[in-house]
Amino acid sequence: MGVRDNEHLKVLKCKKCKFTFLNNNDHITENHYQESKMHENDLSMEKWISITKKDDLRRFNFLKNILRDKSVLDYGCGNGNFLELSKNLAYDISGIEVEERILQHLGKRFSVYNNINKLKKNFDVITSFHVLEHLKDPISKLKEIKKYLSPDGLLVIEVPNIDDVLIKTYKSNSFLDFTFWSNHLSYFNASSLEQTLNLAGFTKKRIYQIQRYPLPNHLYWLFMKKPGGHQKWQFLSNNLFNKPYEYLLKSIKQCDTLLGIFSPNK
């Protein structure tokens, strides 16, 4: 199996643990993310924030009891909208982001660094949303992150789920072709995510199944074999359909996203 944007890359899977990964990551150079090369188009900050707003709010509402009155670090903070939502709830917030234009944009409002080794303190909560799949050596990076987490702290990791129902049950080849992308170096299911965190020195508290895209998105993939159904078939965007469907996907553990909460081993 190849990836959608680089014919030289192949997708491999461990027969034992089912961990899925690209056969090579040399295309991710040192300045790849610094120079915004993950974005396929010229994306303005305003447009980027509008795209992530729904997910940022979902994450904030889901985690606010964990964030309240805590020191929080968002590792790979992107456009900073999650920090913006959290600033009046957490007593101290910081971010790590390597993309240069983000550092310039956020530096006036938050403590944002381009390298975690520049930090001088530990945090009660460290979050990292859709970052782990981009890292060349996720275990080593997680071990580094652990150094900046308080002994009783929590690490929150969100990643795409390779056990997505479109892949595992519906076997949509068009969606599978779309999913594999040169910027995603690793692909996790609940088991391989837990194993990865275990190897880095963390213990699972819980892994949640999160469904980001609703029923019309899936129907559009199955019938039209293209993304964007949640926008193009909005007449199906009704909680009367979507909520039961989301519940069913959670029950079979085939949602499109995983959100794991982990504690550091002492």
Would you state the pLDDT for residue 180?
Answer: 96
Is 0.75 surpassed by the pTM of this model? yes
The full DSSP string for 146-191 is HTTEEEEEEEEEEEEBTT-HHHHTS--HHHHHHH--TT--EEB-HH
Its sign, for the CA torsion 209, 214, 216, 217, is: negative
Would you state the pLDDT for residue 167?
Answer: 97
State both tokens at 187. 């692909």
Per-residue pLDDT tens, the chain, 266 aa: give them: 889 999 999 999 988 787 899 999 999 987 888 877 676 666 788 888 888 999 999 999 999 999 999 999 999 999 999 999 999 999 999 999 998 888 888 887 889 999 999 999 999 999 999 999 999 999 999 999 999 999 999 999 999 999 999 999 999 999 999 999 999 999 999 999 999 999 999 999 999 999 999 999 999 999 999 999 999 998 888 888 899 999 999 999 999 999 999 999 98
pLDDT tens digits, one per residue of 196-239: 999 999 999 999 999 999 999 999 999 999 999 999 998 888 88
Q: Which domains does the chain have, with CATH numbers?
A: 2-213+256-264 (3.40.50.150)
For residue 21, give the 3-state DSSP assignment. Answer: strand
